[in-house]
């Protein structure tokens, strides 16, 4: 006789995990979540984002440390949301595995709850999927879906970026959650384990800093770029209007040593590094020159570069 458990799906384990999640987030457990709309918004616009953590999950599994990867997930989602100036409201998560390990899943979700707390939003639910044959034992995948809200007239419109604007960079906490396929290609498992603390440092969540700047200087920001996949080059390119380019002065900040080790050990070309990693800058704010000093002081950012006339692109100098 066969049943679902013998087929590889343990519903009792899933229910046990749900009980543990409810201890962390009591309102979770229904078929859907309810989110009231704040009446202070006159013309509310919802802002959505979906992201994952990539092969940083492989590092977490290699070291059997899963308590921070959930923070990475939240960061990847909410950091995209705030590029519009929106305030993140809530997040849904998707946890998929070959065989459910309740302890691992609980650690991951604790990290998600912590990340949401840092970002000032809530975990409103999610999905746990046990799929034998889809993933190897001990492997899991993670995705997050977030929603924010902003007043229509306050949306940051990158078409307002002009020549003469200044780039202010907010420091990263390390590699964040991009480029790990290259990292894993360059370093051996032994080396990766030795570098574990550095590699698993959670992605920095910029919500409070960015919203603080917007609150203090409501009209100062003309564009925001989250430096994720594609690195500084591709992500700054995404927000540049036609006939404008971003000039980045590489000597204006200290690139963390982890990136120098990757570049040296892998013999990676400099431009490839800047297209793959954040190089120590996780978020870039574009502002008018008159606001630079106030914005830098408020955000604790560095003077990264400027916007000039020219073919749309990013120039490293």
Tens of pLDDT, residue by residue over 232-255, are 999 999 999 999 999 999 999 999
The answer to whether 295 touches 213, Cβ cutoff 8 Å, is yes
Question: Which residues share a beta bridge with 148?
Answer: 47, 88
Range in 28-32, 124-128, 171-175, 232-236 with the lowest mean pLDDT: 28-32
Q: What's the pLDDT band for 4 if we cut at 50, 70, 90?
A: low
pLDDT at 6 over 70: no
Tell me what the mean pLDDT of segment 94-114 comes to: 95
At which residue do the structure tokens 């040593």 appear? 257
Q: Which residues contact 67 (CB under 8 A, 6 or more apart)?
A: 107, 108, 110, 111
Closest-CA residue to 93 (of 80, 79, 75, 81)? 75
Q: Is 179 left (phi over 0), alpha (psi -120 to 50) or beta?
A: left
Beginning with the edge strand found earlier in the chain, give each strand of the sheet holding 166-171 in spatial order: 221-226, 281-287, 166-171, 302-309, 244-248, 313-316
Cβ-count burial 260-298 (b if 16+ within 10 Å, e if not): ebbbeeeebeeeebbbbbbbbbbbbbbbbeebbeebbeb
Structural domains of the chain, with CATH? 11-154 (3.30.1330.10), 158-316 (3.90.650.10)
pLDDT at 121 over 70: yes
Question: Which residues share a beta bridge with 135?
Answer: 132
> Which token pair is 286?
């574009």
- pTM of the shown model: 0.94
Tell me what the mean pLDDT of segment 245-266 comes to: 96
Tens of pLDDT, residue by residue over 43-57, are 999 999 999 999 999
Range in 26-30, 60-64, 97-101 with the lowest mean pLDDT: 26-30
> What integer pLDDT is reported at residue 11 of this predicted model?
72
pLDDT at 12 over 80: no
Q: What's the pLDDT band for 79 if we cut at 50, 70, 90?
A: very high
Distance CA 249, CA 246 (A): 10
> What integer pLDDT is reported at residue 22 of this predicted model?
73
Closest-CA residue to 271 (of 310, 311, 233, 237)? 233
Give the chain's mean pLDDT: 93
Tens of pLDDT, residue by residue over 281-305, are 999 999 999 999 999 988 899 999 9
Distance CA 312, CA 254 (A): 26
Q: Which residue has the higher pLDDT, 76 or 2?
A: 76
- The bridge status of strand 221-226 relative to strand 281-287 is antiparallel
Closest-CA residue to 142 (of 230, 22, 55, 19)? 55
Tell me what the mean pLDDT of segment 154-162 comes to: 94
Q: What's the pLDDT band for 7 if we cut at 50, 70, 90?
A: low
Q: What's the pLDDT band for 230 if we cut at 50, 70, 90?
A: very high
> Which token pair is 237?
């390119």
Distance CA 37, CA 136 (A): 41
Q: What percent of the chain has pLDDT over 90?
A: 81
Tens of pLDDT, residue by residue over 166-196, are 999 999 999 999 999 999 999 999 999 999 9
> What integer pLDDT is reported at residue 306 of this predicted model?
97
Distance CA 37, CA 314 (A): 39
pLDDT at 23 over 80: no
Q: What percent of the chain has pLDDT over 70?
A: 98
């Amino acid at each position: 006789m066969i049943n679902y458990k013998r087929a590889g799906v343990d519903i009792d384990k899933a229910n046990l995990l749900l009980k543990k999640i409810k201890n962390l987030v009591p309102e979770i457990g229904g078929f859907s979540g309810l989110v009231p709309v704040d009446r202070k918004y006159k013309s509310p616009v919802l802002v959505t984002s979906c992201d994952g953590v990539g092969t940083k999950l492989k590092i977490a599994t290699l070291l059997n440390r899963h308590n921070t990867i959930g923070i990475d997930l939240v960061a990847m989602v909410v950091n995209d949301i705030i590029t519009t100036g929106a305030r993140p409201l809530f997040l849904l998560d998707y946890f998929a595995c070959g065989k459910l390990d309740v302890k691992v899943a609980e650690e991951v979700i604790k990290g998600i709850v912590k990340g949401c707390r840092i970002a000032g939003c809530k975990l409103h639910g999610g999905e746990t999927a046990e799929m034998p044959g889809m993933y190897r034992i001990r492997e899991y995948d993670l995705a997050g879906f977030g929603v924010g809200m902003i007043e229509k007239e306050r949306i940051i419109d990158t078409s307002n970026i002009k020549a003469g604007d200044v780039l202010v960079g907010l420091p990263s906490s390390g590699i964040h959650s991009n480029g790990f396929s290259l990292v894993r290609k360059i370093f051996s498992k032994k080396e990766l384990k030795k570098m574990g603390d550095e590699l698993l440092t959670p992605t920095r969540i910029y919500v409070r800093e960015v919203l603080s700047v917007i609150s203090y200087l409501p009209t100062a920001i003309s564009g925001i770029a989250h430096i994720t996949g594609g690195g500084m080059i591709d992500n700054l390119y995404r927000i540049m209007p036609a006939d404008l380019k971003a000039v980045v002065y590489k000597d204006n900040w200290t690139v963390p040593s982890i990136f120098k080790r990757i570049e040296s050990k892998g013999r990676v070309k400099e431009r490839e590094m800047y297209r793959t990693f954040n190089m120590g800058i996780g978020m870039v704010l574009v502002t008018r020159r008159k606001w630079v000093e106030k914005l830098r002081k408020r955000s604790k950012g560095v003077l990264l570069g400027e916007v000039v006339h020219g073919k749309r692109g990013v120039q490293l100098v």
